Amino acid sequence: MSFSDELRTRTATTWEAATGHRFVEQLWAGTVDDAVMGRYLAQDALFLDRFVALLGEAVAAADRTDARMAIARQLGMVAGEENDYFARALGRLGIVEPATPLPPTRGFLELMDDARRSGVYGNVLAVLLVAEWLYLDWAARPEPSPRDWLHREWIDLHRGSAFAAWVGLLRAETDRVAAATDDAGRESMAGVFTRAVELELAFFDAAYP
């Protein structure tokens, strides 16, 4: 079993609680309450800002040109298309002020800052991999899309062949880097991965008061 599969298996209970969360169910059904969607997106705007900084560190720390270029392309996508969704969505929901980070957001910001400041490519990859793979997992359901663009576009941003290929690259990089590092390095990557999965679940929970 690959290193990434092993991490995914090790965290299966929490992972599946996140991918099957009521937020995800309601998103697919198109029934997420505007107050819930607003709380979630306002927190996610804070998350995304630091996520872009983390992608910048991955661009800097990658030890192969093909990976560096692929990460840089993805960084451009997040700063472009994804940011545009946020502007429209927050505008429609009437959210103008930046939110105060709730505990799961604070945890994520700290985890991303630690990985970024460490400059350790494997730890940076471990956070990116969870954030992207877990979202691909819930967004790739073979179900009809909700009608409201607010819900539909949030699903569409996380599925499709380009996004699946990006997650494939993160998995391949994670496996390659893990194979080239020592036990302590792999333990560190596993710790970051596990913490990120826990935070993804807590992040969905926090959208509900």
Annotated binding site: 44, 82, 132
Token code pair at residue 182? 């020592």
Other Cβ atoms within 10 Å of 209 Cβ, number = 6
* Assigned token pair, 37: 């969607």
38 C-beta neighbours (distance < 10 Å), count: 20
Q: What is the DSSP letter of 182?
A: -
- Binds ligand VIB by CB under 6 A, chosen from 21, 44, 178, 193: 44
Residue of 153, 173, 198, 200 with catalytic role: 200
Task: Tell me if residue 200 is catalytic.
Answer: yes
**103-131 burial: b if 16+ Cβ within 10 Å, else e:** ebbebbbebbeebbeeebbbbbbbbbbbb
Q: Does 47 sit near ligand VIB (CB under 6 A)? A: yes
Selected from 15, 23, 28, 51, the binder of ligand VIB by CB under 6 A is 51
The nearest distance, CB 44 to ligand VIB, in angstroms, is: 5
**Torsion angle of alpha carbons 180, 184, 189, 192, nearest 10°?**
-170
Q: Which stretch binds ligand VIB (CB under 6 A): 7-15, 85-93, 127-135, 184-192?
A: 127-135
158 binds ligand VIB (CB under 6 A): yes
**Nearest residue (beta carbon) to ligand VIB:** 131
Residues known to be catalytic: 200
Residues at the interface with ligand VIB (CB under 6 A)? 44, 47-48, 51, 74, 78, 82, 131-132, 135, 158, 200, 203
